[in-house]
């Protein structure tokens, strides 16, 4: 299979994840942030077992894997084999695809589904890009086991208001909320997906109450932006 890189991340799905970037995508979404992954001859060739081993032995591997690209389903057989190996090892697997679930089903690319937990599906559509969503721009987040069980597409909620703080003290929030936290820390947009901002928090006890109020206000605001109630 052709891959670009394997690294760890907290912005490609919930939690600390080992992320495989596969090489090659023919879908050509406008303003794609991974154009360097379009060329199917780019990256490097590795056999599937070696890719699985590299993921499972990554120092940050704690059971979570994200497979993205590039377009993973354009290397369908390799993807099916890889997810099969990883699932046998107990991994929680998220796959990002520019194809929709329905397209994959109608093209009979279904052998991957029994091995994965979540499919984030569909083209990136710039006009629909929503900076208040977590870990994606406009795509759906499909609970694959539940969808297979019921025969109806079942969506996961990645957007309920929550505060995520990583072990280094960074606050992880959707990009659209970054300005609201400007006064309590620096922010950095992820170059990968553009959907998550990291804020260095200020750990000063005299500001904690103030910051808690700010969190509550912002999360309420986020809920309103998403059309939900807190």
Q: Choose the stretch contacting ligand SF4; rule: CB under 6 A; options: 6-14, 20-28, 176-184, 197-205.
A: 20-28
Contacting ligand SF4 (CB under 6 A), which of 7, 16, 27, 153?
27
Give the pair of three-digit tokens for residue 40.
């199917």
Residue 69 binds to ligand SF4 (criterion: CB under 6 A): yes
Contacting ligand SF4 (CB under 6 A), which of 3, 20, 65, 71?
71
Q: Choose the stretch contacting ligand SF4; rule: CB under 6 A; options: 26-34, 59-67, 101-109, 125-133.
A: 26-34
Cis peptide bond upstream of 70, omega within 30: yes
Q: Which is nearer to ligand SF4, 29 or 54 (CB)?
A: 29
Residue 13 binds to ligand SF4 (criterion: CB under 6 A): no
Q: Choose the stretch contacting ligand SF4; rule: CB under 6 A; options: 63-71, 100-108, 112-120, 201-209.
A: 63-71
Least distance from C-beta 72 to ligand SF4, angstroms? 10
**Angstrom distance (rounded) from CA 34 to CA 18:** 18
Question: Which residue carries 């992880």 as its tokens?
Answer: 172
Q: Which is nearer to ligand SF4, 28 or 145 (CB)?
A: 28
Q: Which is nearer to ligand SF4, 31 or 208 (CB)?
A: 31
In the Cβ-directed half-sphere of 100, how many Cα atoms lie within 13 Å?
8
Give the pair of three-digit tokens for residue 56.
């499972």
Residue 40 binds to ligand SF4 (criterion: CB under 6 A): no
Question: Which residue carries 């970054």 as its tokens?
Answer: 178
Residue 28 binds to ligand SF4 (criterion: CB under 6 A): yes
Of 25, 23, 33, 8, nearest in space to 195 by CA: 33
**Angstrom distance (rounded) from CA 201 to CA 187:** 10
Question: Which residue carries 């820390």 as its tokens?
Answer: 185
Residue 124 binds to ligand SF4 (criterion: CB under 6 A): yes
Contacting ligand SF4 (CB under 6 A), which of 10, 92, 123, 199?
123
Least distance from C-beta 193 to ligand SF4, angstroms? 10
- Would you tell me how many other CB atoms lie within 10 Å of the CB of residue 75? 21
In the Cβ-directed half-sphere of 59, how many Cα atoms lie within 13 Å?
0
Least distance from C-beta 38 to ligand SF4, angstroms? 7
Least distance from C-beta 206 to ligand SF4, angstroms? 44
Residue 32 binds to ligand SF4 (criterion: CB under 6 A): yes
**Angstrom distance (rounded) from CA 23 to CA 159:** 29
Strand 118-121 to 140-143 pairing? antiparallel
**Angstrom distance (rounded) from CA 143 to CA 215:** 29
Site residues (CB under 6 A) for ligand SF4? 25, 27-29, 32, 34, 37, 69-71, 98, 123-124
């Amino acid at each position: 299979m052709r891959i670009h890189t394997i690294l760890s991340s907290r912005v490609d799905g919930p939690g600390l994840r080992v992320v495989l970037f596969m090489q090659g995508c023919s879908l050509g979404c406008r303003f794609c942030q991974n154009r360097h992954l379009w060329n199917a001859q780019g990256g490097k060739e590795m056999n599937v077992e070696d890719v699985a081993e590299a993921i499972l032995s990554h120092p940050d591997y704690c059971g979570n894997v994200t497979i993205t690209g590039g377009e993973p389903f354009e290397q369908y057989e390799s993807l099916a084999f890889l997810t099969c190996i990883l699932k046998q090892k107990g991994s929680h697997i998220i796959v990002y695809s520019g194809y929709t679930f329905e397209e994959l089903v109608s093209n009979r690319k279904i052998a991957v589904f029994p091995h994965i937990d979540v499919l984030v599906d569909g083209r990136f559509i710039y006009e629909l890009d929503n900076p208040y969503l977590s870990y994606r721009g406009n795509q759906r987040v499909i609970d694959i086991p539940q969808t297979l069980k019921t025969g109806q597409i079942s969506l996961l909620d990645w957007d309920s208001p929550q505060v995520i703080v990583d072990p280094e003290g960074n606050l992880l929030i959707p990009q659209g909320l970054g300005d609201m936290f400007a006064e309590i820390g620096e922010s950095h947009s992820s170059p990968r997906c553009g959907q998550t901002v990291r804020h260095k928090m200020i750990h000063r006890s005299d500001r904690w109450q103030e910051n808690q109020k700010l969190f509550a206000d912002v999360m309420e605001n986020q809920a309103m932006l998403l059309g939900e109630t807190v």
